[in-house]
Amino acid sequence: MVYDDKLFVEARVQQSTLAKGRYTDHEIDVIVNFGNIDYVNPINDVHLSIYQGHRWDNTITNLTPSFVERKRLVYDFEEESSFGAGNEYRFFDCKSVRFYTERVQEIIKDTVDIVLLYPDVPWGNQAYSFIQDIEGYYVPNILERDDARIEADYVWVNFCLQQNPFLDKGDLYLFGALTDWYLKDEAKLNYDERMGCYETSLLLKQGYYNYTYLFVPENTQLASQEAVDGDFYQTSQDYYILFTYMIMITVTIVF
């Protein structure tokens, strides 16, 4: 692969500078250095979007530069480029169906084994606690075999969140690489009044997993991690920046 760096993008994630989001939000500042490229109109020719993790519902799009300098565009905002910081991902380990690994409460032997996780509790009303997560991804693995890619089995994993019914109408989902970064119907949790919790089960390959809970209020498409696990500025998050530069090309055809 041959490529040529034409411009450079610098980004910084910091605690929000706004009083209302100082302890809950991340502020993303961006500088685009054009190097030897000439741009014509920094308002109409360029587009900047910021993505939090692999979510699309809360993407910040069409940001215009706050400052235009020679060969540099500066995106330095307060509220316009801020996200609720969320919380760290939860985890579980189902690398073995012979031993109870961390966070596994019970293993039921069946045609397809069933792994019951310990019930989760909301983190939003607790103080922030650092967890070394893998940013929502998973790693297929099996303790009793050599090649997890082809030898790891599939198991049913049961999730349970001990949470009173939400006052606002909406749906609760599991989210992460285990759901392909989508809010899938099969990852929606239903409330069990007898158990007093939201629960669902997913068919997953053995391994180590990260996941989180997202609540989607009725009549919206904007999900919230804050509804269950809160927003804490200390949280480690991946952010992705998409910068688009529209180049005008004039073609002259001579007959």
Predicted pLDDT of residue 4? 60
Per-residue pLDDT of 81-128, as tens digits, reads 999 999 999 999 999 888 898 899 999 999 999 999 999 999 999 999
* Residue 5: band (very low, low, confident or very high) from pLDDT cuts 50, 70, 90: low
Residue 13: left (phi > 0), alpha (psi -120 to 50), or beta?
beta
Residue of 134 and 69 predicted with greater confidence: 134
Predicted pLDDT of residue 251? 45
Residue 254: pLDDT above 60? no
Residue of 159 and 69 predicted with greater confidence: 159
Per-residue pLDDT of 20-54, as tens digits, reads 999 999 999 999 998 777 766 777 888 899 999 99
Q: Which two tokens stand for residue 144?
A: 């009793």
Predicted pLDDT of residue 7? 81
- SS3 for 166-200, per residue? CCCCEEEEEECHHHCCCCCHHHEEEEECCCCEEEE
Residue 6: pLDDT above 70? yes
Predicted pLDDT of residue 147? 64
* Residue 15: band (very low, low, confident or very high) from pLDDT cuts 50, 70, 90: very high
Residue 2: pLDDT above 60? no
Do residues 84 and 24 make contact, with C-beta atoms less than 8 angstroms apart? Answer: yes
Question: Nearest Cα to 86, choosing from 242, 219, 210?
Answer: 210
Q: Residue 132: what are its φ and ψ, rounded to 5°?
A: -80, 85
Domain spans in the chain, listed from the N-terminal domain onward: 8-85+238-245, 90-229
Do residues 172 and 164 make contact, with C-beta atoms less than 8 angstroms apart? Answer: no
Instruction: Measure the N-to-C terminal CA separation of the chain; round to a whole number of Å.
Output: 37
**Stretch 192-220: mean pLDDT:** 95
HSE, CB side, 13 Å, CA atoms: give it for residue 94.
Answer: 31
Predicted pLDDT of residue 149? 63
Per-residue pLDDT of 74-93, as tens digits, reads 999 989 999 999 999 999 99
Residues 6+ apart with CB under 8 A from 196: 162, 164
> Which pairing describes strands 104-108 and 239-245: parallel, antiparallel, or unpaired?
unpaired
> Which pairing describes strands 114-117 and 154-161: parallel, antiparallel, or unpaired?
parallel
Do residues 219 and 143 make contact, with C-beta atoms less than 8 angstroms apart? Answer: no
Instruction: Return mean pLDDT, the chain.
Output: 89
Do residues 185 and 224 make contact, with C-beta atoms less than 8 angstroms apart? Answer: no
* Residue 177: band (very low, low, confident or very high) from pLDDT cuts 50, 70, 90: very high
